[in-house]
Amino acid sequence: MQAVKMQLPDELREAVTDLARTALMVAITETRNNQQAPGYLKATEASKYLGVSRSTFYDWIKKHGIPTVEIDGVKRYSRQSLDDFMAQYEH
């Protein structure tokens, strides 16, 4: 591949550099979030995911039967189940 050299005005060069830097940072952040986003969440993570307090989340579990995965006393909540639960109440 052959490189193309162009001389840009300083203001335009800085703008292009800033745009590229911002795009790169967004891509890095999204990649990190995707890699760190487990399919199963702890109660605190699940309540944050839904944007409610932890006590409200526990109330919803009791009242609406949000599915819980429990293995050896450890409880987790599937993102898909939480999304499905919220979709039930979408108007």
- Is the pTM higher than 0.85? no
pLDDT of 47 strictly over 90: yes
List, for residues 16-34, the tens digit of each pLDDT value.
Answer: 888 888 888 888 777 766 6
Q: Is the separation of the CB atoms in 77 and 69 below 8 Å?
A: yes
In degrees, to the nearest 5, what angle opens at C-alpha 90 toward C-alphas 86 and 91? 170
Q: State the alpha helices, DSSP H only, in the chain.
A: 10-36, 43-50, 54-64, 79-88
In degrees, to the nearest 5, what angle opens at C-alpha 21 toward C-alphas 18 and 27? 140
Report percent pLDDT > 70 for the chain: 93
pLDDT of 70 strictly over 80: yes
List, for residues 2-21, the tens digit of each pLDDT value.
Answer: 878 878 888 988 888 888 88
